[in-house]
Amino acid sequence: MDQNQYASPAAAATVTVPSGDIRAWEAAEIERSAVEARHTPAARLRTTEWNLQRYLAPPADTAFPLEYAFHVIGDVSGRTVLDYGCGNGENSLPLAVRGARVIGLDVSDDLLALARQRLSLHGVESRATFLAASAHEIPLPDNSVDAVMGIAILHHLDLARSASEIHRVLKPGGIAVFQEPVRNSRLLRMVRSWIPYRSEEVSDYERPLTDPELRAFASAFREYRSRAFSLPFINLVQVVPLLQRFVMPLYRIDAALLRRTRALDAFAGIRVISMRK
């Protein structure tokens, strides 16, 4: 369900990591990213035309969170867009194809090398600049970008520092769009605590966020919107091969349930949020 609301200025995003620990945090992320880069085969850097088309002009009522994020960011042609935590450039690519001047920022040199390779393979490398830098200290001037996009990045970061930096570099009237994992339900948090498995691609610092944390993150912005996606049954699609043939109808059911019953938002595992400065 799409929620349009003004964030309370009093609800400031909290600093989750002491200043002296930020470098250790980022070192852990660099290590995690190196594992991710090693596990990314060259073939995955070439995006199919069908998959790319999904993100060029997606509809507002799409059932897929990433498509919705690309819908919300709007027309980016000729605009400077910061791909915040760009990783291997998976989302930098459609932004560049849509005509944006992309600035991809990531702490990992290994992932940025893949991002450059990805855009080169698709012939749009001239439309992007990639920066190896901290998301907590963006090396860009104040009011220098028209839009910010971040996909599954905030849950790796100190929210207060990143909110301040995003607000600083975004031009007045600019939009920031994020897709993040959330875990609001106490029941789901309890169930997840019973499962000790942690992939080597997951660092000790990342964690699912909550709706209050996201609203606090947006507190300095004048407008905030949020839409919920991914009820628990959607996770089964990822792990049960027999369900792969039902991906499209299951996502449509997910969207229909969340559209009709707001109480289910608490059990949805993904949020797409947008904020306007």
Task: Name the pLDDT band for 95 (thresholds 50, 70, 90).
Answer: very high
pLDDT tens digit sequence for 194-232: 555 554 455 556 688 999 999 999 999 999 999 999 999
> Is the model more confident about 109 or about 7?
109
What mean pLDDT is predicted for residues 86-115? Answer: 98
pLDDT of residue 191 exceeding 70, the answer is: no
What mean pLDDT is predicted for residues 138-143? Answer: 98
List, as one string, the DSSP characters of 221-277: SSEEEEEEE--HHHHHHHH-GGGGGGHHHHHHHHHHHHHH-GGGGGG--EEEEEEE-
**How confident is the prediction for the chain on average, in pLDDT?**
89
What mean pLDDT is predicted for residues 157-185? Answer: 95
What mean pLDDT is predicted for residues 82-93? Answer: 98
Give pLDDT, residue 106: 98
Q: Worst-scoring range by mean pLDDT, 60-69, 180-189, 213-222?
A: 180-189
Give pLDDT, residue 23: 86
From the CB of residue 79, how many other CB atoms can be counted at a distance below 10 Å? 19
Using DSSP, state whether 37 is helix, strand or coil.
helix
Give pLDDT, residue 8: 39
pLDDT of residue 269 exceeding 80, the answer is: yes
pLDDT tens digit sequence for 111-130: 999 999 999 999 999 999 99
> Is the model more confident about 259 or about 197?
259
Domains of the chain: 2-232+266-276 (3.40.50.150)
Write the single-letter amino acid at 89.
G
pLDDT tens digit sequence for 50-62: 999 999 999 999 9
Give pLDDT, residue 204: 59
> Is the model more confident about 262 or about 20?
262
Q: Which two tokens stand for residue 159?
A: 């929210």
pLDDT tens digit sequence for 214-224: 999 999 999 99
Percent above pLDDT 90 for the chain: 74
Go through 176-188 and write b for each residue having 16 or more CB atoms within 10 A of its CB, e for each that does not.
Answer: bbbbbebbbbeeb
